[in-house]
Structure 1
């Protein structure tokens, strides 16, 4: 029993899955309801959907009819199976039944705590159904199948910009609570829209872990990456070079925070003004000159910061190789910050996750919603601006050899 200062599991899921994140829950409730109706109709007519058993059939299916269903997760459009002889009406739609509440509760708990066959079995009993254990297990696995489909989907088209970030969450592992790394890969597609393309959980931030995560993205079709943007996570820069073979843009926001860690508090404002002026330069050459000026200025007062800035110059200025109108959106991992805050708001409520799968399930739910929102919203970068990345720049054109020059003159 939960103590006075602890929440029950129902209170946890209610707080984790707030109304503004009801879309995925609503879709999952619809999918589970559809499976329950199919199981109930199969029991009535004596055969599964598409199964040929003429000697055992009591009746046959006859298409579907739509019906709206108001639930705690929002309005759902159901497709209710019809029968050639007799009629069918889902048990969970009967008036004065609490089964709708139970169905929503099971789906919510599944996202936070994992899919439990026992919970689904209890739900089926509350609906008055008698279906096999294998059917119960299949329905229980439906939600995990949705998450797997999202994480394993093929990546289509080019993704010129990839942002990678990581969060630390507490997860039970082998009888102890471990701090695990949740990796989120976010890309800007060649059309200019944003998309979360990858989620992973690992025991530690190592080069081997990052390499495996990036190889998984490449195996699913990630191509065309020009710079990859991230914080200076251990081993990530080497993994990007090895797997993607692309330049690395170090997040300028995190870089400034790191520099401030080597300065006195009363120096933070002045240091911030100097560093930010570098990232707002009008050209790459001007930015490099400002780095040299800043290093000369800081060597006397904060030599450690001057050395760090000088070493990091190529990494923090890599975004200047992209079109100028895109610079503000490429120099940091800020595009992921809002999504990370949303994850933190949910995971803080859970506290300690029971296993890796429960972390992936909850983060995937939020990622699916974010992708849906970005798909119908404004592009992160205009398609016109992105099109400049698909054509070679003047300096990238192959040089004209002497033989070709003679051919051109002769023509």
Structure 2
């Protein structure tokens, strides 16, 4: 299979410039330039782009009809053909440059089915893509409606825009129910708060996002689940769903001490290690520490989570408890002691593996981006709408970053400024070394998947 090589940004510019130079040199644009100089608007209902699109679509439709009936317009032998042209019908088409009034040619037999503008089609496909992109960026349906009217003069109803965004629901369901790998060495779990309408009032619910690291070290968003109250029953359902989708085993599950999650994980994957996110634990211990004492407390906590053994960590925690800061902030000591059983597995791992499971930052960065999207929404009508937007936002973020990287392809590494993958498809740093450590810690469970 031959794969097309990506074209650099400079090459695209060169080709576009060459095409424009040819058009200018041929005089094909002289009439357009004259209209622009005379004050003719470029965009909008009466703009040149609108007129150009109208002319292009009508020309294409007439070419299609010519192929269908077998003769050109004005052909003297038209009467000898079994089918014939039969005038035009008017259609208003919503496009990226505004509403375009086009004349669609007809045939006498009524068998002409155009492909350029399909029967019943009222919008160009590009407009649907624009609407979905705006929705994924966090704009509400009413915001999109106002944006289309004010920018391109297209007035779509609230129901039409809603229908366009709802068309991706099937894709979301397919994604949420797709088959997964049999083994994920590491799964991270974190959540963001979204507002969901429930009857006559709005309540806060948690949108939980699971990210799995596969055997190649590549991260994947495994699913999104909306729940008002966390608990063992909810997490048991999530784990059962992942198991039904093919996840037979998980080595390490890193989370922020979510209620009931450890029990649910162990009921589904008895051999899995549930690890409290160290960064979340540090944040919890610092909750009531004054700003002036934060540096000192962090310095005293560091020997605990950087300890080489469980005993060394316990000694460091005792030392912190006996210190002035420990006596001043007993809540910090309490946070570590309450999470101790789910914190100490971290201390048994080698350094390379510790870096991988140290924190849920793999999805915290994603959640930060998603919060920027959801804050504009105010509220969602139901759980499905929230899941749909979050999924679209993830796709939108990754697509945007991919375009940025594509524009910089061919540049030296030092000159590249585009961000890497946020989560989906990102490769874990030093994964080969980490996988080696995992195979030493869990040889009987991981070797058969290598």
TM value normalised by structure 1 = 0.61
Among 228, 243, 248, the alignment partner of 1:203 is 228
Are 1:157 and 1:189, in contact at CA under 8 Å, matched by a contact in 2? no
The structure 2 residue matched to 1:303, chosen from 311, 330, 341, is 330
| Residue 315 of structure 1, aligned match among 342, 353, 360 | 342
Q: Which has the higher contact order (CA 8 A, sep 6+)?
A: 1
- For 1:100 and 1:393, the matched residues in 2 are separated by 51
Distance across 1 between alignment mates of 2:321 and 2:362: 29
CA distance in 2, matches of 1:336, 1:253: 13
Which residue of 116, 125, 132 corresponds with 1:90? 116
User: Unpaired runs of 5+ in structure 2?
Assistant: 1-63, 69-82, 84-94, 98-110, 146-161, 400-420, 446-450
Q: Offset of 1:370 from its aligned partner?
A: 6.6
| Match in the other structure for 1:363 | 390
Q: Tell me if 1:279 matches 2:305.
A: yes
1:260 aligns with 2:309: no
How far is the alpha carbon of 1:227 from its aligned partner?
Answer: 2.1
Question: How many Å apart are 1:113 and its aligned residue?
Answer: 9.0
- Aligned pair partner of 1:385 in 434, 444, 447: 434
The aligned runs of 1:212-361 (5 Å cut-off) are: 212-245=237-270, 246-297=272-323, 300-361=327-388
Distance 1:303 1:354, change over 3 A: closer
Structure 1 residues 140 and 303: CA distance shift in structure 2, 3 A? closer
- Residue by residue over 1:175-197, the C-alpha shift from the partner in whole angstroms, topping out at 9 and shown as x without a partner, is 22111111101111121111111
2: CA distance, partners of 1:392 / 1:305: 31
* C-alpha contact (below 8 Å) 2:195/2:380 kept by paired residues: yes
Residue 241 of structure 1 and its aligned partner are, at CA, apart by: 2.9
**Change beyond 3 A, Cα 1:360–1:381:** farther
**C-alpha deviations, 1:153-204, integer Å up to 9, x for none?**
0111411111111111111122221111111011111211111111111122
Cα 1:266–1:110 shift into 2, 3 Å? closer
Distance of 2:363 and 2:247 partners within structure 1 = 19
Aligned-residue RMSD, C-alpha: 4.1
CA contact (8 A) 1:249 1:315 kept: yes
Judged with a 3 Å threshold, the aligned counterparts in structure 2 of structure 1 residues 395 and 353 are, in CA distance, closer, same or farther, namely closer
The alignment of Structure 1 onto Structure 2 pairs a total of residues equal to 299
Match of 2:124 in 1: 99
**Structure with max Cα Rg:** 2
C-alpha deviation, 1:283, in angstroms: 4.8
Q: Deviation string for 1:258-297 (max 9, x for gaps)?
A: 2122444433221111112322334555434323332333
Per the TM alignment, residue 152 of structure 1 is displaced from its structure 2 partner at its CA by: 0.5
